[in-house]
Structure 1
């Protein structure tokens, strides 16, 4: 397993990962374009990928502009190997090295993702669009981990 910064050249594989998920599925795959991905990893924030045998199997992207976790996804066949937890750690360590502002994310209720974020110490902060659970992580809470 190799964890590294996401690059523009990874966007095709990032999109493949995003479209293979079984939960938090995009209602319209055209909603997240390659240009969006490029903007988020080069201008708005930063991204990371996990590669196994030269193939991107997971990725995470954080948005400094909106203080938001934009994405954290794995190919289903690579779940339960610690990849998501490592990507999460890299992303939040970097985020909180850039700012002390609380970061938030939204995820569908009743999913493995919701359980994952709770286990990582995220706090419920209401709901966001389409009834997603809104979670927040403060600088102080992250530094306690």
Structure 2
């Protein structure tokens, strides 16, 4: 297993994992490759857990402009093996290293992701207009938890 920075060469595997999840689902075609590539190569950075060349267990993508977690998903067949935590921590560490004081994200209320982010120290906020639970994480809280 290798945790590494995602590239556009990972596009097909990122979509495979994204469409395999059973919570926080996404309709195929709603987000196009160009938007994914803008996050990987322009707005932020992504990471993948690669099990073998060309096969990933999961991915995470953070937006360096505003600290929004754009995506973080693990193949359901690989859930519970620590891949999500590795992806999360690499992404959060990098985003805070850019100087951002606060990160944010949204996820389906009551989902496994909702519980995951709570365990990771994210503060739950309100339900937004899209029905997602909003969360925030401050650099000071992250540093304290990982000192």
> TM-score, normalising length from structure 1?
0.96
Q: What is the deviation of 1:30? A: 1.4
Written as runs of structure 1 = structure 2, the 5 A alignment for 1:1-145 is 1-26=1-26, 28-54=27-53, 55-145=55-145
Asked if the contact 2:6/2:40 (under 8 Å) is kept, the reply is yes
Distance in 1 (CA, whole Å) between partners of 2:65 and 2:128 is 18
Asked if the contact 1:12/1:34 (under 8 Å) is kept, the reply is no
Q: What is the deviation of 1:80? A: 0.1
Structure 2 segments unaligned to the other structure (5+ residues): none
Q: Which runs of 4+ in 1 moved over 3 A?
A: none
Q: CA RMSD in A?
A: 1.0
Aligned residues: 144
Q: What secondary structure sits across from 2:130 in the alignment?
A: helix
Q: What secondary structure sits across from 1:29 in the alignment?
A: coil
Distance in 2 (CA, whole Å) between partners of 1:118 and 1:60 is 17
Q: What is the deviation of 1:131? A: 1.4
> TM-score, normalising length from structure 2?
0.94
Relative to its length, the structure with more helix (as a share) is: 1
Distance in 1 (CA, whole Å) between partners of 2:137 and 2:56 is 27
Q: Deviations over 1:49-104 (max 9, x none)?
A: 00112211100000012320000001100000000000000000000000233110
